[in-house]
Amino acid sequence: MQTVLITGVGRGIGKALAQTFLEKGFFVIGTTTTGTADFARENLFVCKLNLSSTKSTKECVEAIHGLGKKINILINNAGVLLDEDETTLIPERLRATLEVNLIGTADFTEHLIAGMAPHGHIIFISSTAGSLEQTGHLESHWPNHYPAYKISKAALNMYMRTLAQRLKKDGLIVSSVHPGWVKTAMGGDEADITPEEAVGAIYKFTLTSPETGFFWFKNEKLPW
């Protein structure tokens, strides 16, 4: 039985990811900020994780290592959007955003690398909001919303890229994935697709062996 570790399985894309991998017969290690989930299965282990806290990260990693399972797929899904309605950078919100979307995610990942199975795949759920190319159209009339979130996802992509270079010799694949605009607490009701639709594409992607170190949407490379 293959093992997948997914952060943020309490709701949204993470919950749909966990339920899909459970249906496909994976052993699923999920994290939530409460340590509980509103679904239970024999092949599900839920761990409490607050990515803003190094103590919480360490405790969650210890619990995961205690299971004695090698991780085939790590999906860093948990994330925050704290400046949705802002067009001006608010330093405190940037700090809080980076704590979760970048620093906490990187800290968690670094602790888990040694526990990855050979040919394992580390995936970061990123966003086209972090694409320099897409935000680079300065003549665009679209307001430049949520700068802290955009910065965090651009930085996350760079962490992914440096990690991919580092782990290439070990045979591990590292990728960033854009899920689409998804109807969740973060994406809102107006979004294009349901979490289940988004996860269908992400699940298919995990079954491929993509070139390491790139940014993907539905198996197509995205511009940085």
Ligand X SMILES: NC(=O)c1ccc[n+]([C@@H]2O[C@H](COP(=O)([O-])OP(=O)(O)OC[C@H]3O[C@@H](n4cnc5c(N)ncnc54)[C@H](OP(=O)(O)O)[C@@H]3O)[C@@H](O)[C@H]2O)c1
CB of 170 to ligand X, least distance (A): 25
Specify the residue, 41 or 168, whose C-beta has the smaller distance to ligand X.
Answer: 41
Q: Is 137 exposed, middle or buried (0-12, 13-18, 19+ CB in 10 A)?
A: exposed
Q: How many C-beta atoms lie closer than 10 Å to residue 34's C-beta? A: 11
For the chain, what's the residue count? Answer: 224
Q: What whole-number distance in Å separates Cα of residue 49 and Cα of residue 199?
A: 22
Cβ of residue 152: shortest distance to ligand X, in angstroms? 8
Please state the closest distance from residue 38 (CB atom) to ligand X, in A: 10
Nearer to ligand X, 171 or 188 (CB): 188
Nearer to ligand X, 139 or 200 (CB): 200
Q: At closest approach, how far in Å is the CB of 130 from ligand X?
A: 9
Handedness of CA 178, 207, 48, 184 (dihedral sign): positive
* CB closest to ligand X, residue no: 12
When the beta carbons of 55 and 169 are compared against ligand X, the nearer one is: 55
| Residue located via tokens 């001006």 | 88
Binding site for ligand X (CB under 6 A): 7-8, 10-14, 32-34, 49-52, 77-80, 100, 125, 127, 178-179, 181-182, 184-187, 191
Structure tokens at 171: 């045979």
